[in-house]
Amino acid sequence: MNLETLNNEKFYINGAYIESASGEFIDVENPATEEIFAKIPSANEEDINKAVDAAYEAFPEWSKTPIDQRVALVKKLNQWIDDHQDDFDELILLELGIPIHVGHGSQVGRQIGRSDVFIEQVQNIDLETPMEGGILVREPIGVVASITPWNYPLGQIIQKVIPALVSGCTVVQKPATNTPLSAYLLAKGIDEVGFPKGVFNLVTGQGSEVGDILNKHPKVAMISYTGSLKGGAASAKAGMDTAKKVVLELGGKSPAVFIKGANIKEGVEQVLNTVYKNIGQTCSCLSRAVVTEDIYDEVLEEFLNQYENYPVGDPTDESTVVGPLSSEKQFERVKYYIEKGIEEGAELIRGEVPEKSEKGYYVKPAIFTNVKPGMTIHDEEIFGPVLSIVKVKDVDEAIKVANAVDFGLSSAVFGENEKALEVAKEIKAGECYVNTSQKGPNLPFGGYKQSGIGREGGLYGLLEYYELKSIYTK
């Protein structure tokens, strides 16, 4: 696509593209080639205040706009996204390095379905519920600061912005600095379909600076943050100075439990798809395979058989499944964890300690065996294509190991249906796939423990954007 049409060297504030007051810019790098192919403005406090003020001033009218009118605009935006899927695919390839044939469904196509669910659900919410002694009223919360990561440049924004908009909230969007162009393309769509001025605003800059200002801003009513525990904790602490509502979707170290009766071939494929297809850069990827000893040899053999289905290479090559990591920083992070796994006694049976290639941040997918709870690669989120396989004695130990980390975002169980469902109920995580890879679009997403606060997606994700008011009547 023609990048010049994005206006990515300006902010989108109050329905117009404006120059940054800071006059400073951040380079955007293609992780496959290390080429700087774009730049974005770096916001200062003056820029952010303009965006928040625009959202704050637009909120009263937008919040009172009839739901059917808000829904109609979001439907138009959905159609616009559908019409521009090729452009989103191209941008995500350039800024993230995900091959188009791999990322098209998960990175772009799936987002339209997510938006459709919000459209359906918002029309079924009872905004006024008669109760004994009065009325329970739901009202949109106000200005939402949406702070999103780089691993799903469009998807993470859709999960926050669409429910905010259909609920009657206004938004200040702050995307990741290394994958900001999908946000600019979305802003172009919002502008072209005719959303009122100030309802959606886009600012870019370093997260530690822009995020800090948004977190503390007195006119921001809610922070919706996806990213690291460190960043989420900072958002929550800063937000509490003005008692903001905070929704946090944080990290994961998700287990996939294999027990007797499992469809091993399908289970292994599901695990490897989550760990390798987005290069392990998915918070909910099933990065720990916990396998009972009675089926361990069979499961391990299947992992080794399917490993060859994930070739690494140039993301523009249609034969490539695993492209580059997102940045040099991410490359060094994954390299550290692979080295740490070897140092602590795990056995690297596939993959290698990566060496920097001439161009691009490529890492060969890794499989570790002889992994134990307490090892760094078992306990900490790597965010790269690294799978740990843990051998356990029985189902009880599998449950214990599955829960033996500080995270609780996603999980899966493969085994005889009834027993697998029992195990799923024992795993401390916000979601669990039982003998399936299909995600119910109406079910919410979010974590236990250090994986987050609140929920995204479906009805329960939508309800996060409302305040509750009790009106007492005679």
Sheet strand arrangement including 134-140: 128-131, 134-140, 466-472
φ/ψ of residue 357, rounded to 5: -75, 170
Distance of CA 453 to the CA centre of its chain: 14
CA–CA distance, 264 with 268 (Å, rounded to integer):
6
Q: Is the Cβ–Cβ distance between 107 and 92 less than 8 Å?
A: yes
* Amino acid letter for position 13: I
Instruction: For residues 392 and 294, give the distance between their C-alpha atoms in angstroms, rounded to a whole number.
Output: 9
Check: CB of residue 96 under 8 Å from CB of residue 280. no
Helices 296-307 and 264-276 cross at an angle (nearest 10°) of: 50
Tell me how crowded residue 51 is: count the other CB atoms within 10 A of its CB: 30
* Measured distance CA(70)–CA(222) in Å, rounded: 20
Query: Is 56 in a helix, a strand, or coil?
Result: helix
Q: Cα–Cα distance between 307 and 309 in angstroms, integer?
A: 5
Residue 283 annotated among the catalytic residues of the structure: yes
Give me the catalytic one of 283, 285, 381, 456. Answer: 283
Q: Of 18, 11, 14, 17, nearest to 55 (Cα)?
A: 14
DSSP assigned state of 281: -
Residues 6+ positions from 108 with CB-CB distance below 8 Å: 81, 85, 88, 89, 92, 154
Q: Which of 29, 95, 249, 464 is catalytic?
A: 249
Beta-carbon contacts of residue 438 (< 8 Å; ≥ 6 apart)? none
Distance CA 274, CA 294 (A): 25
**Pairing verdict, β 170-174 and 143-147:** parallel
Contact 28, 37 (CB under 8 A): yes
d(CA 99, CA 83): 20
376 close to 340: Cβ distance less than 8 angstroms: yes
CB atoms near residue 131 (< 10 Å): 11
* Catalytic center residues: 249, 283
